Structures are given as structure tokens and as C-alpha cells.
Amino acid sequence: MKRFICTCLLFAALAIVGAFLLQQIVDHGLKKMTNHSSTQTSIAQLLSDTINADILIMGNSRALCSYNPAIMETITGKKVWNIGVSGQPFGISYLRYQLYTHHNKQPELLIINIDNNELEMISNGFGREEYYPYFSDSTLRSYLDIYGFTWKDYYIPMYKYFGDYKLIGYGLMSSVGIYPFSPQQHYHGFYNSDLPFDGEALQDVLQNNKLDSASCEADAIQLLDQFLGELSQQQVEVLFCYAPQYQELYRRLQLSDCMNVYRRLSERYHIPLLDYSSVPWANDSACFYNANHINLLGSELFSSQLALDLDSLKFINQP
Amino acid sequence: MQFNSIEFALFLPIVFLIYWAIGYAHINDPLKLRLQNAFVVLASYVFYGWWDWRFLLLIAFTSFVSWGSGLLIAKSSTPKAAKAWTAANIVLNLAILAIFKYSDFFVREFGQLFGISTDNLLLKIILPVGISFYTFQALSYSIDVYRKKIEPTRDIIAFFAYVAFFPQLVAGPIERATNLLPQFQTNRQFNYDQAVDGMRQILWGLFKKIVVADNCATYVDQVWATYDTQTGSTLLLAAILFTFQIYGDFSGYSDIAIGTAKLFGIKLMRNFNNPYFSRDIAEFWRRWHISLTSWFRDYVYIPLGGSRVGKWKIVRNTFVIFLLSGFWHGANWTFIAWGAFHALLFLPLILLGKNRKYTANDVTWRDIPKILITFCLVVIGWIIFRAESIAQAWDFLCGICSSSILSLPWVESAKTILPIPFILAHVILFEWFNREKQHGLAIESLKPLARWSLYIYICLLIVAFGAQPETFIYFQF
């Protein structure tokens, strides 16, 4: 019996130590990877003190591909950074903003992208693996409840990577300097793949009535309300901004509930709401790569116009 | 409590330590035995109550009635009285099973037959987990007492432990009183080699469940949910993967159950013997769910005359045993059709006297063509088994036979499908090379370094390729 218990304990100890070491290697490798499926501003960057933007942009994939910091910097003379994250609504944007402010200075101006998909806490588990290597960071962990992580993820070695053979493989490769993907070129978090317009996808959406119904979750509204209150106290200027959307789609969206929420909050906190949803070129497919997202040309047009408007609205204190 | 859960990973060592602490306590042997058995009952009821404590009363009732009937059968002054007590116990146990498992099915079918609305008559009771398994186990006791194969026990605690022994309580193997009950009536000695082999078998069972079955389930469930829009090649792939899913799921459970029992010094019967290496359907049924097949053979088929009767009776007996076996799985025509399908495959073999052609465990590479043919037949059977209705099974089979069989199968994401061939290769190779042993990871003859390397390798595979945990399929039966 003693021999059996000793053998089991030895095996368990080996398994735990082995799993712990493997986790350290995978974590280390993944931290070195700059490519992520959902964002250009990695958690490593958010947790570093290297961003320190004057103007910060937050939102979903429409924010990520619409607000071009290079153009906005040229016009405003301020440091602009886009921390947009694909596939995730306000709940996750809020989490990323909190991480940012723990290590970087408060922005002078925070642009919050608004649209029909933003007023939710979390849309799915998309992008959650990006946080795995940072579970030892207590700051990060205090904000991660939204993803539904449990003590098992935090304390059982390799539990968080369970079944994710690809991620484990990427982590191992990166840890020895073999990067599975070449890094995407981006400037201050902005990325736009500049693809031609995908009309088939639009037709599929319209014909099969796959329109995203604008959902306004009470939790998300409450969080946004609280967030705006905090920003107001911290004297951070805030701007709501609706980036251009392809008109054939935009006209079919039922936005009134969401927009009423934004207008109400806008009035309460004296936040300007700039609506670029229907700019004149929003009918021109040459400026979009699909109905929801503008392409590089569109982002240049939009970012220029926004930056000029910020200037004219006296949002920017010239350096 | 599921075997593939953190709760069980904590529960098992605690129960193991307390059980053997009692076993090594300085008290007299009879008291030690009673305490150990009482602790097994307690642990088993906690294990079962984790799902739904209300059904503990049902297990306790089934156990008490069967224990009492055993004593009454033995005390009967005439064979007629003994037969009556046996029949009463069978009727009572089957009535409980019928109420919980089959009542709604019969009411609905009756209503459809006569065009009556039966919505108000349906009981809509939750099916107690494992009811078919422990009911059959309890039945085997009273029948064996009646047949004088076993002495009735006065030790109610040992009997309750026999019915509720947690490793095999919810999904078998369906034990016989002649094998398991005597083990609860004698002192168990801890055996190092047996316990280590138990741990190996648990590891192998976890691999088959978490890696093989649950990965296949991801694809299979997606295809079955949209089978009417899928190509023939996709349906075929899903059918093959379900064949591995159900094997990984059920034999994985059995391996964990048998391995766990070994830790407690209990030897359970083997439930699977590499069924997909069978060379014909008769051999398949000697290798698949052995505890159920042999139960029906001993308590239904042989009493009906078995194969030592006229040809028509052989046909009748074959159909009876296969249809009952199908119906045992659940209240649905698909299970009955699955049983009938296998009966049709089995009949030619038994009528031609070839049903015992392959009784030895001597499969070789040269048998692979026969193995593949048998495998294909089994796959067809599993389509009927997996379908929700006969019509759905038919549509699925027609879909496979369509011209789209030549197209590439649908794959939602490479991540879910890519590891499957790699995983299946492991299970096939491990079980092939250990086909003469008790389980796929029976590697006691290897050197310690090789053994430990393989354990670590299997653990790594579970971590890297484990899928989201799914409930064991056979819990619903």
C-alpha cells in the first residue's frame, strides 16, 4: 500500500511539475507572439507603459479598421492609438481600457465607437486565449470575470490550455524563436487588410435576413454609464462616434433602441455624438471591404474627416 | 458525478484512502468487512446522489426488494413458491423500469395507434441515471438464487454494496451476483500490481473518453443536427466517427470502472474485447458490451432453448434476444430496429452453424478484410442507433448513397477535424498491439522508463487534444 501511494504521489508530482513547466514555456512563447486573431494591440502592449496615447480609440472590429492613427496624428499633432478588438462588444473594450490605464497615462480624449453591436458585455469566447499567458498578473485577473474563467484556469497547470493543441504548439514554437505567423504590419493598433468589397456576403446577409439585431444589454448599458461617470470624474474628454457603414446594410438595421441609449448618456454626461454612418461616400462600395467595415481608402477618408472635425470642435488642445 | 470531472479526481483518492484505512485498521475481520462495505455503500450513494439524490430511494428500494426476495426464495417450502417469489421480484423490478423508462413510449404509441391525444397521460418523469444497469444486476441475483447458483445473503450491507458499487453503478459492466457478491463477502487484500494496472486502465479509459469520444462527438453532433443538408461523404464520415465515438465513450467508461474497482481490490467482468477487430457479427457480439450480451444469453436466450431447438425457434430466439437488447437501450423504435438489423446479420451465421467460427482471441493482419466488412455493417447499425427516428435513419442512409458521396466532406474548422485521424491511429494501434490483453494500456511487460514515458505521453495527449467534456452516452440507458 505504501509503495502504491508513493508511486502515485511521485507520478502526480511529476505530472504537476511537468505541466507547470510546460505551461511556463507555452506562456512565455505566446507572450512573444505579436499576432492575435482579434486585435493589433496585444495584452503585452496594454500592460506595458509604451502606449501613453493622447487620443485613444476603443470599440469592436469597426473601430479597429476605421480609425487610422497615422492620419489622425498628422492632422491633430497628438499621439493616437487604436485599441479596438474584433468580434467583441463594450464589455471587452472596457476590460482592455482598464488594463491600459493601469500602466499608461489617461488619454486626453477617448473616442468610443458606437454601433448596433457594441452595447453587449461579451459576444462569445472569441479572443479569450489572448489572456492565458497573463493569468499571473493580478491586475488582469481582477477584470477577467467577464470571460468566465474559474479557479481551475488560474491554478491547475495547463488547465487553461486543455484541448487547445494549436495554441500549445504556437507557444512551444514561439518559445524557441520559431514564429508560426509573420507579424502583421500595423501602426498604433490600426490594421486594415484593404480587401475589395465582398458583395456576396452582403447579399447573403440581406436575402437570408441575417441582420444582426441591435441588442442593448442592461448590464452593458449600466457598465457604460458607470464608466462614463468615472471618466467624467477623471476629467477625460469623451466622444461617441459612429463610423461609416455601407448604406444598403445601414438602412436595414434597427438602431433606434441603441441610439436612444447613446443619446441619453450623451446628454447626461455632455458627450458629443458624431454620426458618420451616412457620409456621402457610404454608398460607394470602393470604400468598404464588406458592409460593416471600411477599407483602407475608407479609413483614410473617415479618419481625415474625423480629425478635422475634432480640430474644428476644439477637442484638441494644440501642442 | 462524472468520471471525467475534477470532482471525481478528488472523490476517488479520498474514498480510496478511507476504504483502505478501514481495511488496515486493528479490528476483527468481520467488523472490518462490514465497515468497508458500509463505506462502499455510503461512497456509492454520494457518487450517485451528486446527480440527483431523490433517486437514491429508488436504488435503495430495488436493493431491499431484491435482497428480501432472495431470502424468501431460499425459505420457500415448495419450488412453486420459490418460482412465485422470483417472478414477483422480476415483475416488480421490471415494473419500476417500465414506469420510469418506457411508460411514456407505450402511452404515446398507443395514442398514435388509436388516434387518441395522450398528452395528458404522459408521466414525463426524468429517467434515473443507470436504472437499466442496476435493475438488471439486482434481477440476476434473485434468478441465480432461484437457480441455486448462489446462496442468498443475509448480509444486507454487502448486498447494497453489490447493487450500488459506484464504479459500475451507472453504466456497467452489469455484474452477476455469482462474481461480485462473494467479493463483498470476503476480506479484500490490497494488491500492488492489480492497483497499478487499475490506474493504467483508468488512464486509458480517460483517453478514450476525453480524447477519442468527445472529439468525434463535436463533428458527429454538428452533422446530425444538419444531416438533411449534408453531402453523402460528410454523412459517411459522421457515421464512421460516431462508431468510434460510441466505442470510446462506452468502453472508456468501462475501462475507468474496471480500473477503479481494481483499486478497491474488486475484479469486475470485462465489458469490451476490441469489438471492432471482429471478423463477423457473431464475434462482434461476443466482444461488444459483453456483460449485457451474456446477461441476455444466460437469462433469456438459454431458457428459451438457445440454439439447441428447431430452426424456427432459433429464428424466434435470435430475434427475441436482439430486439430485447435493442429495447433495453431506450424507448424508441430506432433501438428496436437496430436490434432487428443485427438479428438479420446474425441469423445466417447461426442457421449455418458458423456463429462460433471465431471464438479464440487470434486476430491477425490477414483478417483485416473480414474486419473491415464487419466494421462497415456495424457502422450501418450505428446510424440506426444514433437516429431519432426510423425515417431519419433512412434519410441518413439514402444521403450516404447519393452521388455527393464522391465530394469532399464538410469541415467547419480544421481545428476540430485535423487531430481526429491522429487520435484514432493511437487508439487503433494501442488496442491492436495489446489485443490479447485486458486493455489497450496493459504495458506491464515494458521497462519502467518506457512505461512511464508512455503514461506521460498519454497525459500530454489528453491535455493537448482533450475536447469539451460530454456526458457519457450510456448514462441515458
CB atoms within 10 A of CB B221: 13
B contacts of A4 (beta carbons < 8 Å): 190, 192, 195-196
Distance in angstroms (rounded) separating the CA atoms of residues A89 and A112:
11
Distance in angstroms (rounded) separating the CA atoms of residues B396 and B232:
9
Distance in angstroms (rounded) separating the CA atoms of residues B2 and B469:
10
Task: Parse chain A into domains and list their residue ranges.
Answer: 43-135+188-312
**φ and ψ at residue B292, rounded to 5 degrees:** -75, -45
A contacts of B190 (beta carbons < 8 Å): 1, 4
Helix, strand, or coil (residue B444)? coil
Distance in angstroms (rounded) separating the CA atoms of residues B240 and B471:
20
Burial of B42 per CB tally in 10 Å (0-12, 13-18, 19+): middle
The whole-number pLDDT of residue A209 equals 61
- B192 and A168 in contact by Cβ < 8 A? no
Between A314 and B339, the more confident residue is B339
DSSP state for residue B5 in the 8-state scheme: S
* Residues B276, B381 contacting (CB under 8 angstroms): no
The whole-number pLDDT of residue A40 equals 67
Distance in angstroms (rounded) separating the CA atoms of residues A232 and A225:
11
Beta bridge partners of A109: A55, A237
* Residues B434, B441 contacting (CB under 8 angstroms): yes
DSSP state for residue B439 in the 8-state scheme: S
DSSP chain A: -HHHHHHHHHHHHHHHHHHHHHHHHHHHHHHH----SS-SS-HHHHTTT----SEEEE-SHHHHHH--HHHHHHHH-S-EEE---TT--HHHHHHHHHHHHHHSPPPSEEEEE--TT-SSS-SSSTTGGGGGGGTT-HHHHTTGGGGT--HHHHHSTTGGGTT-HHHHHHHHHHHTT--SSPPPP-BTTB----PPP-HHHHHHHHHTT-PPPP---HHHHHHHHHHHHHHHHTT-EEEEEE----HHHHTT---HHHHHHHHHHHHHHT--EEE-TT-GGGG-GGGBSSSS-B-HHHHHHHHHHHHHHHHHTT-S---
Helix, strand, or coil (residue B363)? coil
Nearest to A166 among B196, B199, B415 (CB): B415
What are the C-alpha distances in Å from A188 to residues A15, A65, A195?
42, 12, 20
Beta-strand relationship, A80-82 and A109-113: unpaired
Beta bridge partners of A111: A57, A239
Which entry of B329, B342, B426, B439 is annotated as an active-site residue?
Answer: B329
Helix, strand, or coil (residue B123)? coil
The whole-number pLDDT of residue B22 equals 94
Contacts of residue B463, Cβ cutoff 8 Å, sequence gap at least 6: A19, A158, A161, A162, A163, A168
Helix, strand, or coil (residue B176)? coil
The whole-number pLDDT of residue A179 equals 80
Helix, strand, or coil (residue B256)? helix
Output the CA angle A251-A255-A258, nearest 5 degrees: 160
Which residue in B has a C-alpha nearest to residue A3's C-alpha?
A: B192
What are the C-alpha distances in Å from B72 to residues A24, B75, B84, B147?
65, 5, 10, 14
Q: Is the bond into B173 cis (omega within 30 degrees of 0)?
A: yes
Mean per-residue pLDDT over chain A, rounded: 86
B contacts of A19 (beta carbons < 8 Å): 463
Band (pLDDT 50/70/90 cuts) for residue A252 is confident
Tens digit of each residue's pLDDT, chain B (477 residues): 888 888 999 999 999 999 999 998 888 888 999 999 999 999 999 999 998 888 899 999 999 999 999 999 999 989 999 999 999 999 999 999 999 888 888 888 888 888 888 777 777 777 788 899 999 999 999 999 999 999 999 999 999 999 999 999 988 799 999 999 999 999 999 999 999 999 999 999 999 999 999 999 989 999 999 998 999 999 999 999 999 999 999 999 999 999 999 999 999 999 999 999 999 999 999 999 999 999 999 999 999 988 888 889 999 999 999 999 999 998 889 999 999 999 999 999 999 988 888 888 888 999 999 999 999 999 999 999 999 999 999 999 999 999 888 888 888 776 778 889 999 999 999 999 999 999 999 999 999 999 999 999 999 999 999 987 766 766 666
**φ and ψ at residue B430, rounded to 5 degrees:** -60, -45
The whole-number pLDDT of residue A212 equals 58
A contacts of B464 (beta carbons < 8 Å): 161, 163-165, 168
The whole-number pLDDT of residue A275 equals 92
For residue A261, give how far its alpha carbon lies from the nearest alpha carbon of chain B (Å): 37
Interface predicted TM-score of the whole assembly (ipTM), two decimals: 0.84
- B463 and A11 in contact by Cβ < 8 A? no
The whole-number pLDDT of residue A319 equals 43
The whole-number pLDDT of residue A125 equals 63
Which residue in A has a C-alpha nearest to residue B414's C-alpha?
A: A166
Mean pLDDT of A291-295: 89
Distance in angstroms (rounded) separating the CA atoms of residues B267 and B165:
12
The whole-number pLDDT of residue B307 equals 80
All three cell numbers of A229, joined, read 461617470
Distance in angstroms (rounded) separating the CA atoms of residues A174 and B282:
53
Beta bridge partners of A275: A242
The whole-number pLDDT of residue A317 equals 52
**φ and ψ at residue A57, rounded to 5 degrees:** -115, 130
What are the C-alpha distances in Å from B367 to residues A114, A192, B348, B363, B437?
66, 58, 20, 6, 18
Fold of A43-135+188-312: Rossmann fold (3.40.50)
- B419 and A11 in contact by Cβ < 8 A? no
Which residue in A has a C-alpha nearest to residue B451's C-alpha?
A: A11
Which residue in B has a C-alpha nearest to residue A160's C-alpha?
A: B463
Closest C-alpha to B4, from B477, B472, B474: B472
Among A162, A166, A167, pick the best mutation site for testing chain B contact (most B Cβ within 10 A). A162
For residue B112, give how far its alpha carbon lies from the nearest alpha carbon of chain A (Å): 37
For residue A164, give how far its alpha carbon lies from the nearest alpha carbon of chain B (Å): 6
* Residues B174, B274 contacting (CB under 8 angstroms): no
- B466 and A162 in contact by Cβ < 8 A? yes
Is B439 part of the annotated catalytic residue set? Answer: no
**Packed helices B448-465 and B419-433: angle between N→C axes, nearest 10 degrees:** 150
The whole-number pLDDT of residue A34 equals 66
- B464 and A1 in contact by Cβ < 8 A? no
Among B215, B216, B463, B468, pick the best mutation site for testing chain A contact (most A Cβ within 10 A). B463
Among A161, A165, A170, pick the best mutation site for testing chain B contact (most B Cβ within 10 A). A165
The whole-number pLDDT of residue B325 equals 94
Which pLDDT tens digit goes with each residue over A207-232?
A: 766 565 567 888 889 999 999 999 99
Mean pLDDT of A147-162: 90
Asked if pLDDT for residue A110 goes beyond 70, the answer is yes
